[in-house]
A and B are shown apart, each in its own frame.
Chain A
Amino acid sequence: SQPILFEQTNIMSEERGGFGRGRGRGRGDRGRGRGRGRGRGRGDREENVWTPVTKLGRLVKEGKIGSIEEIFLFSLPVKEAEIIDHFLKDRLQDEVMKIMPVQKQSSAGQRTRFKAFVAVGDSAGHIGLGVKCSSEVATAIRGAITAAKLNVAPVRRGYWGRKQGMPHTVPCKVTGKCGSVRVRLIPAPRGTGLVSSIAGKKLLHMAGVDDCYSSARGHTRTMGNYIKAIFYALRKTYGYLSPELWKENTLTASPYQEHTDFLSKKAF
């Protein structure tokens, strides 16, 4: 009644701005200075410029880290998804592995949230798995993608037969198992493609395996057991990382000795 009226008139005649003052500013609304019209510029919003949140992020943006392989080599802690985006750019794909409703019993009754599992990979030896739970589907999926990017790991691949060109398949027959699920991966010649279930095809492709035979047994519809089995199998097949990183002038006929000499000369 009376006091509120007084307050209203006060506010209207003394229009102050500042944080905490409800002005109904929207996004891109020129909240700055009534009449001055200087709010947040619309220009760079469209380009989605990345503002880093961590020290490593700032280093990456400034160009001080050369490649994602340096991240793994130096065990640099990746705490920003944009760092992965920066290195893998257009090659990065994401796939929803599973979206399942999860019921929670609370004092106010049942609450349904959605748990999303996502895989991201660049099909060139890097893969990440993420999980996020949220009351909205879209938020859960977006959050799971971020989580997957924050947990990217290198996948090692090998050769079949002659070591020519890039690694494209697993180097030997391996089986991974988890629960009732058994997954067997078998080397295949170039051009075979991925012989597998849809889920297996997607995961192996993301991990950078181009050609592979596979067979699976057990309750393969269970996501957790199936992907555990596949990754156990993949990890048994360690070969070496992409040779494109090798520079010709650092290695000659006797690689090991030459390399030790090289390192000792630099006087680390």
Chain B
Amino acid sequence: MSDASSASSSSSGGPSAVTPAVHLGFSEPIEHAEDVETIAHNSPIWSDWDGGKIGGRPSWLNPRDVPVGPLRCRACAKRNALASKSADSMVASDANADGGESSSADQKVASETRDVNAHDGSRTPATTESATIMRFLCQTYCPADAESNPRNEAAFHRTIYVFACPSIECSTSPSPDSVLVLRGQLSKENDFYPAITKDRENDFDSWEKHKSASWDANLCEVCGCKAGGRCPKQNLWFCCREHQKEHLKCCRTKNGSANNEEDDRNVKLLPSLYAESELVVEDEPSVKKTTNDEEERLRQEMDKVAMFSTSEKDEKMKDGVGKEEEELDENLEQTDLNDMTGAAGTGTSDAATLEFYSRIGTGDGGVKDQCLRYCRWHEAEGECDDKNAFGSDVNADVDVSTGGGGPLWVSSRDIPSKNDISSCQHCGAPRKFELQLMPQMLSYLFGDRSQDKTRDAVASEEVRAALLAASNIAEQAKWEGREGELPSDFKKRHDGAVQKVRNALLVGGSSAKQGGDGMDWGVIAVYTCTASCGDGIVNDGTKMGAYREEFAWRQQPLGV
């Protein structure tokens, strides 16, 4: 078994289950500029590698056979293709009497195609070229040579990279195509890192083989993927025109002048890059197991202060009817409570969401800022496909808060079934859940946005006060039966104004101006090949170099 799991029996009844260890990832700020050199694979001392990094540019494990930029969103490409196909077909039916729609569409595409990615000789259709470029989210170092099935020594070093599309469409109606997961790995003996790092006489300051420059691989100055060409004006390499323009606009470097005081190579200035921080690992705190006696004592204590007690003494005092009503209380659910208070329309009664908060609230709330959850290839608790193992109650009878592997979903919407998870396209092995990105990571990716325009930009204080007052007036008139006294279009105007501000807040907010950065997610669950196939060196003809694609499920964010 993997050395990562620890065996412990579950608290209440049932068979004793092996509770897999869950690791959590947290964002740690990079205090000093020079520390960047020690993060992830920027340092060749691999025995120190741990965790990973969030934001910035990817730090490639294999610095030579890197993916070719730009990494475009396939969901956006598909959407564009559908849109242009319907547009083309309309044009074609007018223009070409006997040619048929398809040939006309092809001509159109062919004339617009440019040989941007000359490396693999393929032609990218116009629709793909205009697709949004995905942004780097995070990378994690997670060796798997011992756990891979069959065992693969090339997974001695192993790093997972996650990229996602920042467009608003892909954030609100996500598909697996809007996320790109790459897996890089290397065996212990490789061309890039020293064999033994324990040698303290040599501190490897002059080691260069882990840098892309040593292998004549030019990386894009903006995104860090393999570059296509050089910009003569800036004397730097880029992977596409968009990044070239972006760099020119944001980092106006005069000839020979240094960039910034901070040696982060303009991460803060480039909109395509998110704020950079380090990803550190911690164990998830275990739930303190309490005995049945302790539980009973606590229950009695709480019962004394509760508004409505349940103690047996009272039950005896009740007459026969009391028992029935006790059962009524047993069946009260959140939706019933919301009906009472009037929170029915706006409240949250999704059991999965409440479980989500329960789970991240363990350890007395000390781990609420977790950015990543890691639990490789263990089935979710309840272990079998048969959700009815505990009777007919399908509604989350499994107490997630006592521990267990598997993804922790943010709501019960849009949860994948086994069929949705594709198997590895290289070796056919099944893919299983390995890690998930949490929505807390977004706060760290966006960094410090307090300098952005204040809330006055969306709607000034006077406007908001006016709308509130108007709402009061409308309410009062309604309940006093005096609606006839209001001006005829008062309600309509008011509702319209409220709607406008609401949309501005929810959809735009402060991020609308940042070139359509609507990046958002509930969770991004990453499923990886259980064989961890490949040797990490051979470039198998795809644009991804020696890195292999894995599968991710992007769940809708809460509140959408």
Taking beta carbons and an 8 Å cutoff, which residues of A are in contact with B? 7, 11, 14-29, 31-36, 38-41, 45, 48-56, 58-59, 61-66, 69-70, 72-81, 95-102, 104-117, 119, 127-132, 134-139, 141-143, 146-147, 150-155, 179-180, 198-199, 202-203, 219, 221-228, 231-232, 235, 238-241, 245-247, 250-251, 255-257, 259-260, 262-264, 266, 268
B559-A56 in contact (CB<8A): yes
Which of B141, B299, B557 contacts A18, CB < 8 Å? Answer: B141
* Interface hits, B410-452 → A, CB 8 Å: 410, 435, 438-440, 442-444, 446, 449-450, 452
Cα–Cα, bound, A262→B493 (Å): 11
Q: B310 — which chain A residues lie within 8 A by C-beta?
A: 98-101
Tell me whether B541 is interfacial, beta carbon within 8 Å: no
Q: B343 — which chain A residues lie within 8 A by C-beta?
A: 128-129, 151-153
B28-A38 in contact (CB<8A): yes
* Interface hits, B34-76 → A, CB 8 Å: 38, 46-52
Q: B102 — which chain A residues lie within 8 A by C-beta?
A: none
Q: A16-B49, A239-B479, A263-B494 are in contact. Are A131 and B333 (CB under 8 A)?
A: yes
How close is A79's CB to chain B, nearest CB, in angstroms? 4
B505-A64 in contact (CB<8A): yes
A51-B443 in contact (CB<8A): yes
Q: A119 — which chain B residues lie within 8 A by C-beta?
A: 307
A151-B466 in contact (CB<8A): no
A70-B49 in contact (CB<8A): no
Cα–Cα, bound, A109→B467 (Å): 58
B498-A73 in contact (CB<8A): yes
A264-B559 in contact (CB<8A): no
Tell me whether B199 is interfacial, beta carbon within 8 Å: no
B285-A27 in contact (CB<8A): yes
A117-B558 in contact (CB<8A): no
Cα–Cα, bound, A7→B314 (Å): 62
Q: B342 — which chain A residues lie within 8 A by C-beta?
A: 153-154, 231, 235
How close is B530's CB to chain A, nearest CB, in angstroms? 13
How close is B326's CB to chain A, nearest CB, in angstroms? 7
A59-B505 in contact (CB<8A): yes
Tell me whether B469 is interfacial, beta carbon within 8 Å: yes
Tell me whether B306 is interfacial, beta carbon within 8 Å: yes
Name the residue in A31, A48, A114 with the highest tally of chain B Cβ atoms < 10 Å from its Cβ.
A31
B13-A106 in contact (CB<8A): yes
6 A-B pairs besides A22-B2, A32-B280 with CB distance below 8 A are: A16-B156, A49-B369, A58-B442, A64-B510, A79-B559, A135-B11
B487-A260 in contact (CB<8A): yes
* Interface hits, B316-344 → A, CB 8 Å: 318, 321-322, 325-326, 328-330, 332-334, 336-338, 340-343
Q: A256 — which chain B residues lie within 8 A by C-beta?
A: 473, 485-487, 490
How close is B217's CB to chain A, nearest CB, in angstroms? 24
Cα–Cα, bound, A119→B3 (Å): 44
A146-B485 in contact (CB<8A): no
Q: A143 — which chain B residues lie within 8 A by C-beta?
A: 354, 357-358, 401
Interface size on B, residues (CB 8 A): 150
Q: A136 — which chain B residues lie within 8 A by C-beta?
A: 11, 287, 290, 295, 401
Q: A153-B347, A224-B336 are in contact. Are A109 and B13 (CB under 8 A)?
A: yes
Q: A66-B455, A131-B333 are in contact. Are A20 and B307 (CB under 8 A)?
A: no
Q: A263 — which chain B residues lie within 8 A by C-beta?
A: 466, 470, 493-494, 497
Which of B50, B341, B366, B391 contacts A105, CB < 8 Å? Answer: B391
Cα–Cα, bound, A146→B401 (Å): 14
Cα–Cα, bound, A70→B467 (Å): 9
How close is B282's CB to chain A, nearest CB, in angstroms? 5
Q: A100-B310, A153-B347, A223-B329 are in contact. Are A17 and B468 (CB under 8 A)?
A: no
- Of all chain A residues, the one with the shortest Cβ separation from B500 is A268
Q: B306 — which chain A residues lie within 8 A by C-beta?
A: 96-99
Q: A202 — which chain B residues lie within 8 A by C-beta?
A: 307
Q: A203 — which chain B residues lie within 8 A by C-beta?
A: 307
Quick check: which of B93-101, B127-135, B143-151 contacts chain A, the rest being far away?
Answer: B143-151
B354-A262 in contact (CB<8A): no
How close is A69's CB to chain B, nearest CB, in angstroms? 6
Q: A117 — which chain B residues lie within 8 A by C-beta?
A: 308, 329, 332, 337
B4-A22 in contact (CB<8A): yes
How close is B122's CB to chain A, nearest CB, in angstroms? 35
A19-B354 in contact (CB<8A): no
B348-A99 in contact (CB<8A): no
Tell me whether B248 is interfacial, beta carbon within 8 Å: no
Quick check: which of B105-113, B174-182, B230-238, B457-465 contacts chain A, the rest being far away?
Answer: B457-465
How close is A225's CB to chain B, nearest CB, in angstroms? 7
Top-8 shortest CB links A-B? A17-B50, A151-B347, A222-B325, A153-B343, A79-B558, A129-B337, A51-B369, A150-B348
Q: A20 — which chain B residues lie within 8 A by C-beta?
A: 2, 4, 23, 142-144, 147, 374, 376
Q: B8 — which chain A residues lie within 8 A by C-beta?
A: none
